[in-house]
Chains A and B, each alone.
Chain A
Amino acid sequence: MHRFANPARFMRMSQIVLPWLTVVTTLLLVAGLVLSFVAPPDYQQGESVRIMFVHVPAAWMAMCAYTSLAAASAAALIWRHPLAEIAAEETAPLGAVFTGLCLVTGSLWGQPMWGTWWAWDARMTSVLVLFFLYLGYMALLNAFDDPTRGRRAAAILALVGFVNVPIIKFSVDWWNTLHQPASVLRVGGPTIDPSILLPLLIMAVAFTLLFATLLVVRMRAALIERKIRVLDAAAGGALG
């Protein structure tokens, strides 16, 4: 693992992977969007089911991104690896955007279906907590004069906050909520009709690849910025 976590190796490998990743992501996003509008309306939700093709993948990405953030934070705390630090730092804004998107699109679906923009339902509240965890992580990262202390404090918050991920996943089973129980990732297989499931899964893969593409771009940018700071410091700060 350490061999692949080398920043120079990451730059070389990501340079090869990035164009392919971008092409596949774009194609899948286009395919997912087309299928989202070709899919038949749901027999109960009608055309509003199309919001689910954005809302559900955004919700999955919100949790996946936080899991990545916690894993990268653990690696950074244990091995003090700069690439893990950068991965965690660059994952947080992406995760925050996906979580925000999940909350907003959920609200837009909730008003016509449940008759309310917001309810303090266990699933919605735990996702809101996830959003605040992302914001807290980013705030903590920049809250100290010493960046090392900021990174360490933020990494600890990320690890402690990880307890919220299983709470989000199982909130619909543990508490009586407005949300229906799991209908895709469940024992016994999905309960959704294939005409709805296919666009949903394609959008989910597209969102995952979009997250991966943007994470690689941002990590490359962060590594270059670190190199600039090192060169600048070596030159006595003369180049700003």
Chain B
Amino acid sequence: MSFSTWIQMGGYAMFVWPAYGIAAAALGLLALGSIRRYRLAQRRLAVMMATRRGEDA
């Protein structure tokens, strides 16, 4: 099977590719957003703990 035939998905390309594209975008953004939030929280906590240690010293 040639690449162009595969891309055409037997005439269903305009339905198959958007389905995978939307799934990748939605789940990718969800994952990136979750990781970003987690890292931000970790950084904020680290800064807060460092500030408290500085105050205690």
Contact = CB atoms under 8 A, between A and B. Distances in A.
A105 B19 contact: yes
Contacts of B11: 46-47
A contact patch SS: helix
A4 B20 CA distance: 37
A7 interface: no
A121 to B, nearest CB: 18
A225 interface: yes
A41 interface: yes
Interface string B27-41: 100110011011011
A48 B15 contact: yes
B45 A108 contact: no
Interface size class of chain B, counting residues whose CB lies under 8 Å from the partner chain? 20 to 34
Contact of B12 (A48, A97, A100): A48
Interface residues of A, number: 34
Interface in A184-234: 210, 214, 217-218, 220-221, 224-225, 227-228, 231-232
B contact patch SS: helix
A135 to B, nearest CB: 15
Interface string B2-22: 000000011110011011101
A55 B51 CA distance: 48
Nearest to B41: A224
Given A54-B19, A224-B45, A97 B34 contact: no
A97 B42 contact: no
Contact of A101 (B12, B23, B31, B35): B23
A200 B15 CA distance: 18
Contacts of A50: 9, 16, 19-20
Instruction: Give the 4 A-B CB pairs with smallest separation, nearest first.
Output: A47-B10, A224-B41, A221-B38, A47-B9
Given A108-B22, A225-B41, A239-B51, 19 more contacts: A46-B12, A47-B9, A47-B10, A48-B10, A50-B16, A51-B16, A97-B30, A100-B26, A105-B19, A109-B15, A210-B27, A210-B31, A217-B34, A218-B34, A218-B37, A221-B34, A224-B44, A227-B45, A232-B48
